[in-house]
Amino acid sequence: MFSGAIVAIVTPFKGGKVDEKAYRGLINFVIEGGVNGIVPCGTTGESATLSHKDHERVIDITVEEVNKRVPVIAGTGSNSTEEAIRLTRHAKQIGTDAALLITPYYNKPTQKGLYEHYKAVASACEIPLILYNVPGRTGVNMATETVIELSKIDNIVGIKEASGDLVKCSQIVRDTGDDFCVLSGEDSLNYPIMCCGGTGAISVTANVLPDKLSALCKAWNSRDVKTAQKLHLDLLDINQVLFIETNPIPVKTALAMMGKVVEEFKLPLCPMSEANKKRLAEVLRRHSCIS
Tell me which residues are annotated as active site.
132, 160
Number of other CB atoms surrounding residue 107 within 10 Å = 11
Q: Is 94 helix (H, G, I), strand (E, B) or coil?
A: helix
Query: Which of 136, 144, 130 is CA-nearest to residue 102?
Result: 130
Pairing of strands 17-18, 200-203: unpaired
Supply angle C-alpha 159, 163, 166, rounded to 5.
85
Q: Compute the CA torsion angle 267, 273, 276, 277 (nearest 10 deg).
A: 80
Cβ neighbours for 177, distance < 8 A, ≥ 6 positions apart? 151
Q: Residue 5: phi, psi to the nearest 5?
A: -85, 110
Residue 248, preceding peptide bond in cis (omega within 30° of 0): yes
- Assess contact for 75 and 41: CB atoms under 8 A: yes
Measure the CA–CA gap between 173 and 186, rounded to whole angstroms: 17
For 206, which DSSP code? G
- Assess contact for 285 and 253: CB atoms under 8 A: no
Number of other CB atoms surrounding residue 250 within 10 Å = 24
84 sits in which H/E element: helix 81-94
